[in-house]
Amino acid sequence: MLAEFGTLPLQLDTPLAGELFLLGRILFGATLAFMGLNHFTDLETMAGYAEFKGLPAPRFSVFASGAVLVLGGLGVAAGAFPVLAAGSLAFFLLVSAVTMHDFWSVEDPEEKQNEMTGFLKNVYGAGAALALLAVGGSAWPYAVGLGLF
């Protein structure tokens, strides 16, 4: 017989757990927000790459993805709208892994390795965002506490 599992509240009652959770959120969120800023400061180059990858409306795609990264990253770091922030980051990272880093279709070994690295970075980032999404409905320590859920 299988044991029944219930939903448990996020429990960070061990020493420094809340502080480590905050540090992890800041490192993850601030890194993604910084990456999003690069979408704005290097818009033309990134739009050219997006066009090369076949994205429709490449300038808009780069601008929109930069906004998702900046707002989602800041939301996770601050603990503001955590479900929306983590969910949008997870979705973006998974979609961009497949659309922008399709290493399986690249012939050149060096380019293939670069695309695989980008793919794997997006996948593990999506994993972190999904983990944060899973606890997004719980009260986060040191969070601003704004949310929809």
If DSSP codes are grouped into helix, strand and coil, which group holds residue 45? Answer: helix
Length reported for the chain: 149
At residue 109, the pLDDT reads 96
Q: What is the pLDDT of residues 19-28, one digit of tens each?
A: 999 999 999 9
Distance between CA atoms of 140 and 136, rounded to whole angstroms?
8
At residue 29, the pLDDT reads 98
Q: Is 16 left (phi over 0), alpha (psi -120 to 50) or beta?
A: left
As a whole number, the mean pLDDT across the chain is 92
Instruction: Work out the average pLDDT over 53-63.
Output: 95
Q: What is the pLDDT of residues 60-105, one digit of tens each?
A: 999 999 999 999 999 999 999 999 999 999 999 999 999 999 999 9
Distance between CA atoms of 62 and 64, rounded to whole angstroms?
6
10 pLDDT above the threshold of 80: no
Distance between CA atoms of 149 and 136, rounded to whole angstroms?
8
Instruction: Work out the average pLDDT over 118-132.
Output: 97
At residue 5, the pLDDT reads 47
In which band, very low, low, confident or very high, does the pLDDT at 148 lie, cut at 50, 70 and 90?
confident
Whether this prediction's pTM lies above 0.95 is answered by no
Q: What DSSP element (H or E) covers 44?
A: helix 43-52
